A = this chain, B = another copy of it.
Amino acid sequence: MEKKNNKSKDSSTILLTGLEEEVQLAPLTRKIRLQLTPPSLADNRSDLDRLSQALFPSFGRIQVPLPLMRKLPQVCREQNWEITALLGRTTQGWKLLELQAGDTTSRHYGLAVDIGTTTVVARLLDLQTGASLGTAADYNGQVSYGEDVLTRIFLTMESDGPGLLQEAIVKTLNGLIARLCAEAGITGEEIAAVVCGANTAMVHFLLGLDASRICREPYIPVLSNPGFLKAGDVGLQVLPQGLLYCLPSTGSYVGGDVVAGILVSGMHRREEVSLLVDIGTNGEIILGNWDWLVACAGAAGPALEGGVVAAGMRAEAGAIDRVRIQPDGRVTYHVIGEGKPAGICGSGLVDCLAELLLAGLIDRAGHLADGRDSFTLVPANESANGREIVITQNDINNFLRTKGAVNAAVEVLLESVGCGMGDITHFYAAGAFGRHLDLESAVTIGLYPDIPRERMIQLGNSSLEGARQVLLSEEKLQEVEEIASRITYFELNVNQSFMNKFVGSRFLPHTNLDYYPSVRARLAARGLIR
């Protein structure tokens, strides 16, 4: 049973859930109850040999830290050689993390975390049963050092920068840990493992690494897979020797959050070709199947999140998130929080453009009809601040550049593997933007491909879900590492083919309507095309 715990942030705007998959329970840490044979003259093995040999059949040669060696004789004899061993993965095998007298296997917890640029979501899991015990969300405390990720990356170039950013995110995480622990009636020390889904920059910030080269050619991160770290080494208030694992990334721009999206979609295990689009601060696009995975990324986010539109705003209370335009030009809309509108968010904008196209108020090149230079969405007297909310020709042009960049990127990827648009059989939308977007509108403007709707899947918070799966499942851990190592990344900044395609890609929905049969049918039905 899932309990929502989301006091400091309105849950309507942070994605707490998504597609979930039942996994075969084999968590990142294991809690094993052992009834050891008490020593005798005939069996005078040392305490450590007795323990290691009991664990050997399941775990091989384990690593044992000195503090646990010191604790061992007392723990063994406290409950007549019944002890519980907590083990965690290393890159090379298993390590003893904790020892307790008696049987404490029922108390074994883990934390799955999604660290976004703006928001952080944490889910507490029972690692013995796989059950979710609660979810909590908050703003990323690093926001005080810069709303956007670039400002923070520049900060890590200063000597105290990495420390400040690390401290901020750890403080946010510790707040979530404290809330989740209090609700579940456990202590932080009972959390044995933390798995984190985040983009490459966020992982660098969490680990206190210099992220400055992520955004400078040739875009080299310090690491793409930190392996199994000690949670205490970054200051997380869980078991200090517990594991911290960050989902691996491919290069600077296909982060662990995106790799999680692939994992959750299952596209890497399917023979047919799938397309995954994750639009957040950056836009990441992955094309692939069980044989190959190709990816590219670009700063699509600001545009699609409303950032390039004069009236744009985040998907918060007051934002228009749904727009309908009747054939007679009459506009209806929905406002988050049900109050008066203050601006328009990304999903509202996509709706608006789709509706303008279907109403014949813009042409397929995005030009407003009759040479007008703006479209009034909300008259001044209906808005929150008494000013009109308008979409200008300039707004439309800016937005179409971003949409065109996504289309051009998809075509570059298709071309790189010798496929065409028609080969895409499944489509996955990851991230919060993908969740809130109206599917039909996204197809209408050509942001999403025009394939049967039952094969278009919104993954929801796949970064959190990927972290959850890896925390609970050895098989998913292997899968996620394999995905990260399999992805071939295309750097669009230096790609001439991308530039060429970009020029022709801003048409609505696409230069070639054959790829958009359902949109063609609707446009035709309204007499907008022959």
Flag the segment in A65-73, A289-297, A398-406 that touches B: A65-73
Closest B residue to A51 using CB positions: B223
Known A-B contacts A41-B217, A44-B218; A92 and B63 likewise in contact (beta carbons under 8 Å): yes
Flag the segment in A204-212, A263-271, A354-362 that touches B: A204-212
Known A-B contacts A49-B224, A91-B62, A227-B63; A44 and B209 likewise in contact (beta carbons under 8 Å): no
Query: Within 8 Å of chain B (Cβ to Cβ): is A221?
Result: yes
Residues of B within 8 A of A252 (CB): 44
User: In the bound complex, do residue A44 and residue B93 qualify as a contact, i.e. CB atoms below 8 Å apart?
Assistant: no
User: In the bound complex, do residue A48 and residue B225 qualify as a contact, i.e. CB atoms below 8 Å apart?
Assistant: yes
Query: Within 8 Å of chain B (Cβ to Cβ): is A1?
Result: no
Distance of A490 from chain B, by nearest CB (Å): 10
User: In the bound complex, do residue A48 and residue B222 qualify as a contact, i.e. CB atoms below 8 Å apart?
Assistant: yes
Query: Within 8 Å of chain B (Cβ to Cβ): is A64?
Result: yes
Distance of A76 from chain B, by nearest CB (Å): 9
Query: Within 8 Å of chain B (Cβ to Cβ): is A491?
Result: yes
User: In the bound complex, do residue A227 and residue B64 qualify as a contact, i.e. CB atoms below 8 Å apart?
Assistant: yes
User: In the bound complex, do residue A213 and residue B73 qualify as a contact, i.e. CB atoms below 8 Å apart?
Assistant: yes
User: In the bound complex, do residue B61 and residue A226 qualify as a contact, i.e. CB atoms below 8 Å apart?
Assistant: no
30 residue pairs from A and B, CB less than 8 Å apart: A41-B491, A41-B494, A44-B220, A44-B491, A46-B222, A46-B224, A46-B251, A48-B222, A48-B224, A48-B225, A49-B223, A60-B92, A61-B91, A61-B92, A63-B91, A63-B227, A64-B227, A66-B207, A66-B233, A69-B222, A69-B223, A69-B226, A70-B207, A70-B222, A72-B223, A73-B210, A74-B210, A90-B92, A91-B93, A92-B92
Residues of B within 8 A of A208 (CB): 66, 70
Query: Within 8 Å of chain B (Cβ to Cβ): is A388?
Result: no
Distance of A491 from chain B, by nearest CB (Å): 5
**How far does the alpha carbon of A229 sit from the alpha carbon of B65 in the complex, in Å?**
7
Residues of B within 8 A of A421 (CB): none
Residues of B within 8 A of A515 (CB): none
Distance of A225 from chain B, by nearest CB (Å): 7
Name A39-88 residues within 8 Å CB distance of B: 39-41, 44-49, 60-64, 66, 69-70, 72-74
Residues of B within 8 A of A219 (CB): 41, 44
User: In the bound complex, do residue B70 and residue A220 qualify as a contact, i.e. CB atoms below 8 Å apart?
Assistant: no
Query: Within 8 Å of chain B (Cβ to Cβ): is A489?
Result: yes
Mark each residue of chain A from 103 to 143: 1 if its CB lies under 8 Å from any CB of chain B, else 0: 00000000000000000000000000000000000000000
Residues of B within 8 A of A234 (CB): 66
State the majority secondary structure of interface residues on A. Answer: loop
Residues of B within 8 A of A217 (CB): 41
Residues of B within 8 A of A40 (CB): 218
Give 5 nearest A-B pairs by CB, closest first.
Answer: A92-B92, A48-B223, A92-B93, A46-B224, A41-B218
Closest B residue to A66 using CB positions: B233
User: In the bound complex, do residue A39 and residue B226 qualify as a contact, i.e. CB atoms below 8 Å apart?
Assistant: no
User: In the bound complex, do residue A223 and residue B47 qualify as a contact, i.e. CB atoms below 8 Å apart?
Assistant: yes
Name A388-421 residues within 8 Å CB distance of B: none
User: In the bound complex, do residue A73 and residue B222 qualify as a contact, i.e. CB atoms below 8 Å apart?
Assistant: yes
User: In the bound complex, do residue B47 and residue A220 qualify as a contact, i.e. CB atoms below 8 Å apart?
Assistant: yes
| A interface list, Cβ under 8 A from B | 39-41, 44-49, 60-64, 66, 69-70, 72-74, 90-93, 162, 207-210, 213, 217-227, 229-230, 233-234, 251-252, 489, 491, 494
User: In the bound complex, do residue B218 and residue A39 qualify as a contact, i.e. CB atoms below 8 Å apart?
Assistant: yes
Q: Which residue among A45, A223, A225 has the maximum number of chain B CB atoms within 10 Å of its CB?
A: A223
Distance of A115 from chain B, by nearest CB (Å): 17
Closest B residue to A229 using CB positions: B66
Known: A45-B220, A62-B91, A70-B222. 14 other contacts (CB 8 A): A41-B494, A44-B219, A47-B220, A49-B223, A66-B229, A66-B230, A66-B233, A69-B207, A69-B209, A69-B223, A70-B162, A73-B209, A73-B210, A74-B210
**How far does the alpha carbon of A217 sit from the alpha carbon of B41 in the complex, in Å?**
7
**How far does the alpha carbon of A213 sit from the alpha carbon of B213 in the complex, in Å?**
56
Distance of A52 from chain B, by nearest CB (Å): 9
User: In the bound complex, do residue B63 and residue A90 qualify as a contact, i.e. CB atoms below 8 Å apart?
Assistant: yes
Known A-B contacts A73-B213, A208-B70, A494-B41; A223 and B46 likewise in contact (beta carbons under 8 Å): yes
Residues of B within 8 A of A64 (CB): 227
**How far does the alpha carbon of A93 sit from the alpha carbon of B63 in the complex, in Å?**
11
**How far does the alpha carbon of A219 sit from the alpha carbon of B41 in the complex, in Å?**
8
Residues of B within 8 A of A91 (CB): 61-63, 93
Residues of B within 8 A of A224 (CB): 45-46, 48-49
Closest B residue to A92 using CB positions: B92
Residues of B within 8 A of A213 (CB): 73
**How far does the alpha carbon of A159 sit from the alpha carbon of B185 in the complex, in Å?**
33
Closest B residue to A61 using CB positions: B91
Residues of B within 8 A of A220 (CB): 39, 44-47
**How far does the alpha carbon of A225 sit from the alpha carbon of B45 in the complex, in Å?**
11
